[in-house]
Structures are given as structure tokens and as C-alpha cells.
Chains A and B, each alone.
Chain A
């Protein structure tokens, strides 16, 4: 620098005024011409470089053409001048705070044609340290400023790809690191560049770097290299299929210390499960997991390759000491159509030894992945160790576990099997074994509330509603579940026993002999009513506690809504358990502070009205006056408030955890990271598709037929119009057949008519085919219709039995059968 400023002073003279800087620059620029001596050009470049910081604009305006010329002609030959000119250009193009425009202007000049860019990619082939380094820096800057332009030049550069790969292989760390940074920008959003670099072996080179840096234990270089790999693969199906052809997919597993050949029945090794974690490693592993998730996602979950990945994810999320955020990430990356055999994979969960600072871990009893997943959802990580913690991270993880569970039970058979499993508990007489889910669902609310239990029960309502949601059979089974009459309100998960500890003795709970076991549904409505009672005492005293009660109430209400929907038997049971009183009160006493509960109660009330189709003590006619008194408009208004509530609106398919602060009362300052759960996406979806039916139902006369239990207007219209089509086509076929007959009779006209017959035959075939399709479609609809009318007849019989008036207007089932037979 000294040298530079001396040159500068020498050139401008000791008393140089600002104007003479411009003169100096002009003079120096002239000296860049190829006609001067190389040594002079070198000196000129160095001086210009010194001036660039203070006179960026003038240097750019005057010297850029000459500098580019020098780059072109001299950089390759003379490393010193090469380095100097590259650095000068870099300074000119760099966009810094005050001179944003200027950097871009210079960049545009440099990129005015492909020449300079091609020179730069050629210079990358130069092994001189300074040349490579400075070239990489300049390219990075140009890419940051005008990526598209550089990318399009790169694609035409004679040896672009090979020289980029060459710098990736450079043994000198600084060069290699800088090249990774440059490549990240170069490949961004350009599938063609991604492909050509993959072809040239970029994956292999990048993973070499990762491995040399110590894998996921490596620093920011590992991270950048993994980012590059991610960039080469994401949105690039061609590269993904190439990548799968390499041994790299199993290398990804090895990076995580997961054995790539682990069989389903084998346990994951402890070195995988228990690792030391720091922030850098978390970032690296997060990238590896992201890449793996992308490869699973693009292939579907069926293939053997991705099943090892899925196993790895499950082990990481459920049986490792990885940080919470990573566990959440892996759960979210599992495929939504999860076919992995969760219930038959056995894994070993761990728990930190208290006060060991995460350095010692207890191994717990092996359990099926499904059990551990449910346990994680219900109680949180590590056997509920932090069950009362409301940290957003922890809740996100539990929410993600709920979503995975939901995806897993997508098939009705699985739902039924699990619900069936909850039944068996009543059989065993001594030491009542109770499913953890059922237990969590039935914990009686205690005042003051136990924070851990509120979350546990709330999540249990979410999980349970996934088991029942749109599964009439599961609902039927669930109605017969009778949990043991006394549920011990245990504060946290108790379903895993440390491997070296003794199993817990039978719970010493006194069972009241007279207390016959109640059904879950009954128990839930009782708990709900208890909650309302405690909640009403809360008003105006402890807002935070009130909010907890509200949350629990919302959980019960959402579960009940999804359970009772289209299940008239459950509706009856709920009503007989005293539902009306429980629901009406909150609707009546709307409080300022809470907008969700009354709306949800209104929804449930309307739903009970709509589906109260079983004979019983409480009929539609019992409910109708209550609805009238509350006012249909009021009820609908309250339901609208639910839809407008932030806690409802903010829910997406992948996000159910909200920051606690949304409505946090003044004076309380909960930790920033505190979160809370109100709804999950399944309920929001359910509400959106069904709230209108309920609203419409409010206004219906008690004697109106159920609107959603018969064929709705739309399908009735469809059936009607299909029937018309068939009739028309049958007619057409008849006509054609007659015509054919007539044609074949008239022998004299045979020749003329022959062609007509052929035409008609094809026409006939076509319409017959069409008719078959329509017939098939109609058959399906009729089967459906038949099921519905059987049900309706049954309902009517019940209603008649119950002494209700039943309309006789629609004995139409038989006519439909006739149409079907033709």
C-alpha cells in the first residue's frame, strides 16, 4: 500500500488537487495500451488499483476498457499484472453501500459481451494461486450482480465446466472454499449448468471435500459443499436420477453414521443414536437430511432405497439425541403417503441422565416405532421429561409427530385396528392395561391445571380425531370403548421403563365398586362440562390459566365435532350425557375475551341437531326451540367468529404451532419461544367443508329430512341426467336396429345400403360403448343410492317406532332398479 500511495503521489505531484486525480487516471489509463512496455502497464494497473477506492467512478469511466484489454492480453502471461487487474476489476464491480449503481454499471460494462467472462473461465485453469483466487472472487461478484448474464456466457465458454471442476479439486483450501462459493451462485436456477457440472463429476468432488473436512463434523466448508450438492439436485430430476446411480446416496447415510445396509429387524447402532451436537453440526446435518428428504420425495416411498432413508429419519426423530429442530425436520420430510411399517419396527429410545449435561444417557425399553411416535406426540421428547415445557420447538416436534401419525393412519383398516386395540383394555380384569392414547385422552382435568396434562390431553384429542375422522367403522368401535373407571392423573409419560429399572407396580388407585365403567364419549362430555365449570370460576382472575382451560375445551369440542359428524348414535349418546346444557351455556354467556368457544359450541349444537336422527329422549323437536331461543343469526354469527379468529386462520397443512404471544394478556411476558396449539389442519379442513351444512341445518324444521344422509341435490341431478342419457341412447339403438332390419329386408337396394349399414354398425358400436360406460357409472351411483335409501328406510322405521311423523313421498327405490335392468 505504501508503494501505491507513493506512486500515486509521484504521479499527481505533492500538491495535487482533486481535479488532477482525474488527470492522473487519464494518464494511467493511456499507459494500459498494448503499445507500452509490460512493466509500464503493470505499474499503471497497480496505481489504478490504488486509486480505485477513492475514485471508483473516475477509474471506472476512464480505465475500464484498458483494464479489460490488459486482462485479455497480459493476465495469462504475467501473474503480477494478472492479479492486479483482477483485483482492480473486482473493486470496481463490487457493490458497496454507497455506490450501488456504480458497481452495477461497471459490471454491465464488463459483461457487455462474452469475451471477458470467457477469459475469466479460462484463467481459472491457471494454477497460480493469486490468479485463481482473484478470478474466483471477481466471478463471484459478477454472479451476485448479474447472474443470468454470466450464466449464459458460461454455457458458451469453451472450457467452462472442466475448469470449474478443476478448482473444486484444488488442494489449497482457500481456493477450494472460494470455488464452492462461486459455484453456488453459478448453478443457481440453471438446470443446464447443474447438469453439465454433474456430468463433469461435481458431486464426487464436493463429497470429497465434505469427507476431507470431517463430514458433518466439518465446519462451514462442509456446509457450503453440501449446499452446492443441494443446489445441483433440487428441482433437477435428471441430476437426481444420475445421483441415485452413484454410491453417494449411501454415503449420505454414512455421514450420519447410519449403516446403509441396516435391515428392518436390526437395531440402529448407538453411535448413530447418541452423538455430540453443536450448531455447526446441526446446520450440516440439516442439509444432509434435506437432500435425503428430496430424494425420498421425488421417488415415492415404495423403493428399497428410500426405505433405508425413512428408517434413518425415524430413528433420528424417535430414538436419538439429535436436537429437537432436526427431529422436527425429519418428521416433516417423511412422505405423506407413509407406507413404512411403523408398528413392526422396534427401536430403542433414550433418556438423558439427570444432571449429566447431556453426556450420559439411559437406554429405555425397546418399543415399536408407532408407540414411540404416539408417545412423542402425547408427552414430548424423552418420555415426557419436558412435558410441561411450552417451548415452540418442542411443540413443533409434537405437532409434526401428530401429522406423521395422521398420514400413517390414512387407511381405514389401520384406523380401525388401532381403535380396536383400545377396546381390549376392558377385558383384562386385574391391573388394567390402558392404551397410552386412551389414558391421555381421559385424564380428568384438575384445578389448578397441570400444564403438562393439558397439552397431553389436547394432543390426544387431535390424535384420536384422526383415528375417527371420516371413518364410520372406527366411530362405531370407539363408542364401545370403556376405559377403566378411574384414571390416575399422572403428570407425564410412564409407558417406558428404563431398561435397567424395575417395571412399575400396578397403579394403586382405589376403584369405586359402584362406578361402572363409562364410555369414552360419556367421559369426554363429563370432562368437557368440568372444564366449563372451572373455566367460569376463572373469569377475571387468572387470564393465563383461563386460556389454558379454553384450549382444553377447544380440544374436546373439536374431537367431539369430528366424532359426532354423521354418527347419529354418538349424537344420541352425547345428548343423553347432558350435552345440551353444557353447550348452551357458553353460547349464552359470550365473554369478550374468548371468541372461539361459543362458536365451536354453536357448531356442535347445530351438528347435534342435524344428525339427531335416532329415536331417544332428546329429539330434534327438543332441540329446535333452544336453537330458536338462542337465535339462528346469533349462532351463525358466533360460528363466523371462529373462522375469523387468528388462531384458526393461521393454521396450514404443516403448521399448527402458533407463538403464544398472539393474545397474551398484558403484564405477562412469556418467553419469546413459547408456543401453543389450538387447531390442527385436519379440523380446519373439516370445518371449512362442513360448517355450511350446519348453518343451513339451524333453520330447518325439526321434521325435515336429514340433508346430508340422503343423496344430495347434486348427485340426484347427476343420476337424473345420466338416466336421461341412457334412455336417449337406448332409444337410439332401437331406432338403429329397426333401420338395419329395414335395410336388410330391401334386397334390391342392397348395394346402396351396404355402406350405410357399415356406417351404422360403427355408430352402434360406439354408442353401445358409450352406453356401457354410462351404465357402469350409473351402477356405481345406484349402489350408493341404494345404500343410502336402505339407511333412510331404516331411519324412518326407527322414527316411526319412535312415534314420529314420517313422510311417505318417496318410494322411488324400485323404479331405479328397473332402469338399471334394461
Chain B
């Protein structure tokens, strides 16, 4: 049956204010769907997806946890930061407040996560701006692209604008982040013990081959 199915398992978390579209991005990534009225997330939902990074010749299994954004759940969310290799920090380009709050989410991430965690800033819902992109007003946009980019640069974050609704740049966001993580692995930034969010598909010696990708069947389908 299946030979090698993936080379790395990368744990991702998605964080940011409520209603910026975190769950929608995850559903878009894993199911290629968009729900107009998703259930507001109560806890953390899980989804996974195989992606390929052709120039590295690697297949990556993304394991993605969608965190809830409300304040009361924030303490739980922190538990997830520590174990993640990558983080999507999401705001809504039509909501300045969500962009402003992204600063405090980032502070949380910085405080609790592995210092080598790769974080990508995602400005979601760009579809709402493009409806009348021809017009002068640029739709309902409240955060200009340049401003998002500038802040990302300042903080050393990757940056992309995306839409869970149209699917634009959703996979690309995860790919960009994964590339960055692979690059860090190549440069030897991580060693296996220190990044709980990265797992090799090779069995660790002596131990049960729990993370051996090839042991699982039918996962590519």
C-alpha cells in the first residue's frame, strides 16, 4: 500500500479575535468549503491536511488546531502555543479593532510559544474589499495592505492577505509558513527535543514507532 506518506508532521495553531474567520480558514483548508454561518467555536477544533513543498521534495502533514478567540478561553489557548511549530495570527481586514488586538495576541504567543515558532500574519476577508475594487473607496477595508505588511515586517512575521470565502491564499498561507519551518529545520534551528510542534516521520530509536507515517494506511485519500 502507501509507501512514504509524509516527511514531517507540523502542528499549527490559528489564533486571533473572535469572528475574524479562524474556523472558516481551517474548514477552507481541510474541506475546501466555506460556511456562511459557522458555529462559533467553543473550544478547539482539529483538522489536518497533507501539503507538498515541491522544491524541497517534501510532503508535510499539517495538524491544525483552531483556537477560540474569546477572552474567557484565552488561558486554554495558551496551552496550545507551547506545542506548536507554526501559528496563523488572523485579523479581519474590514475590522481595525481586530488588527489592533492582533498585537496582544502576538504578545501572548511570544510569551508562551517556542521562540522559534513561525508566525504568519493573515489579513482575512479580502473578498469583501474586492467587490467594488474598481471604485475609489476600496470597499469596506479598514486596514490597508501596506499597514499590515509594515507591522509584520516590524515584528518579523510572515504576511499574507487571504479570504476563507474565495479560498484565495489560504493554502498559500500554510505553505509559506511551512516553508519557513522547513528552512529552520534545515538550518538546524530546532533540535527534535526542543520543538514539540515538529515531528519527523522516522521512528525515534527504541521507542514505539508512533510517529511513523508509513504505518498508517489510507491517509492520502
Contact = CB atoms under 8 A, between A and B. Distances in A.
* Chain B binds chain A: yes
Interface of A: 155-156, 158, 160-162, 191-192, 195-196, 199-201, 204, 207-208, 211, 238-239, 241-242, 245-251, 260-261, 303-305
A200 B210 contact: no
B216 A200 contact: no
B221 A304 contact: yes
B210 A246 contact: yes
Nearest to B207: A208
Interface stretch (B76-84, B90-98, B164-172): B76-84
B43 A238 contact: yes
A208 B48 contact: no
Contact of B80 (A199, A242, A251, A261): A199
Given A199-B11, A261-B217, 14 more contacts: A156-B75, A161-B79, A195-B44, A199-B44, A204-B211, A208-B207, A211-B208, A238-B43, A241-B47, A245-B48, A245-B219, A247-B216, A250-B216, A250-B217
B63 A207 contact: no
B216 A249 contact: yes
Contacts of A248: 210
Nearest to A194: B43
Contacts of B211: 204, 246-247
Contacts, number: 83
Contact of A196 (B45, B80, B207): B80
B63 A195 contact: no
A196 B78 CA distance: 10
B149 interface: no
Contacts of A200: 79, 83, 196
B1 interface: yes
A232 to B, nearest CB: 12
A162 B46 contact: no
Contacts of B45: 238
Given A200-B83, A245-B61, A304-B221, A207 B47 contact: no
A199 B48 contact: no
28 contacts: A158-B78, A191-B43, A192-B43, A195-B65, A196-B76, A199-B44, A199-B83, A201-B83, A204-B210, A204-B211, A208-B207, A211-B208, A238-B45, A239-B46, A241-B46, A242-B48, A242-B63, A245-B48, A245-B61, A247-B209, A247-B212, A247-B213, A247-B215, A248-B210, A251-B208, A260-B217, A304-B218, A305-B217
B218 A246 contact: no
B208 A207 contact: yes
Contact of A245 (B63, B209, B217): B63
A160 B63 CA distance: 22
A242 B221 CA distance: 16
A695 to B, nearest CB: 48
A80 to B, nearest CB: 32
Given A191-B43, A238-B43, A199 B216 contact: no
A239 to B, nearest CB: 7
Interface residues of chain A: helix, strand, loop or mixed (majority):
helix
In the A-B complex, the 9 residue pairs with the smallest Cβ-Cβ separation, listed nearest first, are A247-B215, A156-B75, A238-B46, A242-B46, A247-B216, A304-B218, A161-B79, A196-B79, A192-B43
Contacts of A242: 46, 48, 63
Given A247-B215, A305-B218, A155 B76 contact: yes
Interface residues of B, number: 32
A199 B79 contact: yes
B80 A246 contact: no
Contacts of A155: 75-76
Interface in B174-221: 196, 207-213, 215-219, 221
Contacts of A239: 46
Contact of A238 (B44, B209, B210, B217): B44
A200 B82 CA distance: 9
B98 to A, nearest CB: 24
Contacts of B218: 303-305
Contacts of B1: 261
A195 B43 CA distance: 8
Name the residue in A192, A200, A247, A305 with the highest tally of chain B Cβ atoms < 10 Å from its Cβ. Answer: A247
A526 to B, nearest CB: 54
A208 B80 contact: no
A246 B1 CA distance: 17
A247 B210 contact: yes
B216 A246 contact: yes
A241 B208 CA distance: 21
Nearest to A191: B43
A239 B47 CA distance: 10
Contacts of B207: 208
Contacts of B65: 195, 199
B82 A162 contact: yes
Interface string B39-79: 00001111110000000000001010100000000011011
Nearest to A193: B76
Contacts of A199: 11, 44, 65, 79-80, 83
A155 B79 CA distance: 9
Interface in B1-35: 1, 11
Contacts of A245: 48, 61, 63, 216, 219
A195 B68 CA distance: 13
A800 to B, nearest CB: 62
A261 B82 CA distance: 36
Contact of B76 (A192, A249, A261): A192
Nearest to B65: A199
A303 B217 CA distance: 12
B137 to A, nearest CB: 31
A154 to B, nearest CB: 10
Nearest to A260: B217
Contacts of B219: 245
A208 B43 contact: no
Nearest to A160: B79
Nearest to B217: A261
A261 B61 CA distance: 22
Contacts of A260: 215, 217
A168 to B, nearest CB: 14
Name the residue in A201, A245, A249, A261 with the highest tally of chain B Cβ atoms < 10 Å from its Cβ. Answer: A245
B94 to A, nearest CB: 29
Nearest to A238: B46
A260 B75 CA distance: 40
A247 B204 CA distance: 14
A155 B72 CA distance: 10
A210 to B, nearest CB: 9
Contacts of B215: 247, 250-251, 260
Contacts of A156: 75
Contacts of A247: 209-213, 215-216
A162 B65 CA distance: 17
Contacts of A241: 46-48
A211 B196 CA distance: 22
Contacts of B80: 196, 199
Nearest to B63: A245
A678 to B, nearest CB: 44
A161 B83 CA distance: 10
Contacts of A261: 1, 217
A208 B208 CA distance: 7
Nearest to B209: A247
Nearest to A307: B218
B140 to A, nearest CB: 30
A200 B80 CA distance: 8
Name the residue in B46, B47, B65, B208 with the highest tally of chain A Cβ atoms < 10 Å from its Cβ. Answer: B46
Contacts of A303: 218
Name the residue in B48, B196, B209, B215 with the highest tally of chain A Cβ atoms < 10 Å from its Cβ. Answer: B215
B143 to A, nearest CB: 31
A251 B207 CA distance: 14
Interface in B120-160: none
Nearest to A162: B82
Contacts of A250: 215-217
A200 B196 CA distance: 8
A332 to B, nearest CB: 26
Nearest to B68: A192
